[in-house]
Amino acid sequence: MNGKTLMTCIDAAHASLKEHADEIASLDQAIGDGDHIINLLRGMDALAALRASIEAEAFAPALKLAAAKVLSTVGGSSGPLFFSMLTGMAKAAPDDDDVKAFARAFAAGVDAVGQRGKTGTGSKTMMDVLIPVAERFTALADAGASKQDVLEALPRVAEDNMLATRDMLATKGRASFLGERSRGHIDPGARSSQLMIAAVCAHLAQDGA
């Protein structure tokens, strides 16, 4: 993994968010203020504009560069949270392509989001996708799973847990202002996180990267 591969992952995530933009907008209109997809696409466009600099870096500095851009462009609640994800991953970023080391880096990123947002699972947020994915990633890596097995398993974990946010009561972020009325809608941050995870896994699986 290096800046070039990271950029191809960002491109894959960006394409998927664009494809599902209307749906994510509707989800945030239902239980938030509707800006989640606008915030994310603003960040993705800024990352695309930074392409040459990201591609020139090794993995950890490329993640840090992307994190700083995300913080300055995304805004909302999710900007600082995605910044924490990327910087948390950068701190633990592996030098080699070992599955266990990647699992550790991903889990470190998710931990950093949890610390920043002071949230675990069950609050109807992106954490309801990120935590189970990090846990399954770690468990698979510890069990010696291959890269292809991991890339196949994680999108399913992400999707199941994204769907499970529909029946949850929101207790964090803007959606929590709705109380019981937040039930019955999928959390927009859970959906965008799940889509990005699925897109990156599909890209890496097909790429053999």
Q: Can you give the binding site for ligand ADP, defined by CB under 6 A?
A: 28, 32-33, 35-36, 39, 76-78, 81, 117, 119, 125-127, 172-174, 187-190
Q: Which of 18, 16, 14, 29 is nearest to 187 (CA)?
A: 29
Partner touching 187 among Mg ion, ligand ADP, none, CB below 5 to 8 Å by kind:
ligand ADP
Partner touching 190 among Mg ion, ligand ADP, none, CB below 5 to 8 Å by kind:
ligand ADP
Nearest-CB residue to ligand ADP?
Answer: 189
Q: What angle, rounded to 10 degrees, do the helices at 3-19 and 21-31 form? A: 70
Alpha-carbon torsion, ordered 169, 153, 44, 175, to 10 deg: 0
Cα–Cα separations (whole angstroms), residue 163 to 1, 79, 138, 157, 188: 30, 23, 22, 10, 11
Least distance from Mg ion to the Cβ atom of residue 38, Å: 9
Partner touching 127 among Mg ion, ligand ADP, none, CB below 5 to 8 Å by kind:
ligand ADP
Between residues 39 and 161, which has the closer beta carbon with respect to Mg ion? 39
Please name the residues in contact with 55: beta carbons below 8 A apart, sequence gap of 6 or more: 3, 4, 7, 62
Nearest-CB residue to Mg ion?
Answer: 32
The tally of CA atoms less than 13 A away on the side-chain side of residue 115 is 11
Distance from C-alpha of 79 to C-alpha of 64, rounded to nearest angstrom: 14
Least distance from ligand ADP to the Cβ atom of residue 76, Å: 3
Residues forming contacts to Mg ion in the complex (CB under 5 A) are 28, 32-33, 35-36
Between residues 28 and 128, which has the closer beta carbon with respect to Mg ion? 28
Least distance from Mg ion to the Cβ atom of residue 29, Å: 9
Least distance from ligand ADP to the Cβ atom of residue 82, Å: 9
> CB count, 10 Å around CB of 142?
11
Between residues 75 and 94, which has the closer beta carbon with respect to Mg ion? 75
